[in-house]
Structure 1
Amino acid sequence: MPASSKFQLLTEPEPTAAELVDVIDAFYDALPPIASSGESDPGVVFAGYGEPLLRHDVLCDALREIRARRHGIATRVATNGLVDVAVCDALRDAGLRSVTVNFASADPDEYARIMAPRDGRTQGDALAFIERCSELGMEVEATTTRTPGVDIARARELTMALGASAFREREYFP
């Protein structure tokens, strides 16, 4: 991360839902009133130096509290989608309306090589995540990195066929 981003890794332990909401409140409280509503509202994205859905229970608690305190704020999760599909329902019920799913490759073997999923997860889990979120009415953006050898067109076609409403290519940095 460039120094100008002011990005800082979290320290241990991981934050609680209340701590996440407090940070979001502090951010919005520091904005000029016009910047915290309408088109200029930056919204909240749960993403980072790890997979945010590994702690989906905490994330859902934070989403519910954000929705209660700050009506109408756009919220999004950036994920690899390698979770149980039931998590989609929990996210929607907590108020999430938008997800970005990093989809490594339409080829299952290539996907496994790039992502090296754990706990028996596979490309099929990410595809099921995209499909379920779409079925639940969430805005689903799929992204694929221009990794050498990855067929971007196939990744776009597959994710869009499962309900992604947008697709974006990401730059590859070796």
Structure 2
Amino acid sequence: MIVYATHKGGRYLPIEESLAEQPEGKRNIYVNLTNKCNCACTFCLRNMKEMAEEHSLWLKSEPTVDEVKNELNALPWDKIAEVVFCGFGEPTLRLPALVELLHFVKENYPEHPTRVNTNGLSELQYGHETASAFRGILDTVSISLNASSPEKYYELTRAKYGLESYEGMLTFAEHCKEYVPNVVLTIVDHVTSEEDIEKCRKICESRGLTLRVRPYENS
């Protein structure tokens, strides 16, 4: 699926099925751009979640920008709350497409907030500052913090860039503060210990960042 909604029980549904199951109220919609990722997290649902083919987030091929725009244009926008670029891959690995699509949403559906869920490694990926690309088109960036030290982070994420990945992710988060109104760092309960969660809070406080503890979905 390219565009989908999430439902209880860890289910991903095409918009038509989402509306059939829950016709009332608004829902977030998620945009899935790629299968590729520059991390190989030990807890990642990519490796554990079984999905029927019609509900799968594994893409047979990466969608073109025009294909995504067509799916977005077909949405019932009165039923949409937020547009989230997420999926099973890392959206910033398609940074030009991501930026173009964020511009598209803001230009055509400006009343809908936008969010990107990311591992925050795009500046290491491209070798330059990338946060400024989101100026004026992104309302929230949600960055996976995952751990309280470079060593624990690498052990959990097996990030492509080694131990420097941790500081690279935090630096990206700090850069985003200048261009994105809401910068949130996340950790996952049941994956991160209570002691580490407190250490993560202090790290975020020291850098002027917001921490959110999100529930682990294992279904």
TM-score by length of 2: 0.66
CA deviation profile, 1:52-101 (whole Å, cap 9, x unmatched) = 111111000111111121123200000110111622111225x1121011
Paired residues for 1:45-124 under 5 Å:
45-84=84-123, 86-92=129-135, 95-120=137-162, 122-124=165-167
From the superposition, tell whether residues 155 and 148 of structure 1 become closer, same or farther in structure 2 (CA, over 3 Å). Answer: closer
Structure 1: runs of 5 or more not aligned: 36-40
Which amino acid letter does the alignment assign opposite residue 14 of structure 1? E
Q: Report matched runs for 1:128-139 at 5 Å.
A: 128-139=171-182
| Corresponding residue SS for 2:117 | strand
Shift in Å, 1:19: 1.9
Q: Distance in 2 between matches of 1:173 and 1:15?
A: 26
1:19 to 67, 72, 75: 67
Give the structure with the larger strand fraction. Answer: 2
CA contact (8 A) 2:69 2:101 kept: yes
Q: For residues 92-136 of structure 1, give each alpha carbon's deviation from its aligned partner in whole angstroms, at most 9, with x where no partner exists.
A: 25x112101110112110011111111455101110111011132
Counterpart of 1:86 in 2: which secondary structure?
coil
Shift of 1:173: 5.8
* Equivalences, count: 163
Per the alignment, residue 21 of structure 2 pairs with: none
**Is the 1:127–1:159 Cα contact (8 Å) retained in structure 2?**
no
How far did residue 171 of structure 1 move? 2.9
Q: Is the contact between residue 147 and residue 192 of structure 2 (CA under 8 Å) also seen in structure 1?
A: no
Three-state SS of the structure 1 residue aligned to 2:122 is: coil
Of 72-81 and 146-155, more deviation after overlay is shown by 146-155
Q: Could you tell me which residue of structure 2 aligns to residue 161 of structure 1? A: 206
How far did 1:163 drift?
2.8
Letter matched to residue 68 of structure 1: E
Are positions 1:171 and 2:215 aligned together? Answer: yes
Taking only the aligned residue pairs, the percentage that are identical comes to 28
Q: Relative to 1, partners in 2 of residues 1:59 and 1:170: Cα closer, same or farther, differing over 3 Å? A: same
The 1-side partners of 2:181 and 2:10 are apart by: 34
5+ long unaligned stretches in structure 2: 1-5, 14-54
Offset of 1:4 from its aligned partner?
Answer: 4.9
**Partners of 1:4 and 1:137 in 2: CA distance:** 29
Aligned to 1:151, the other structure's residue is in SS state: helix
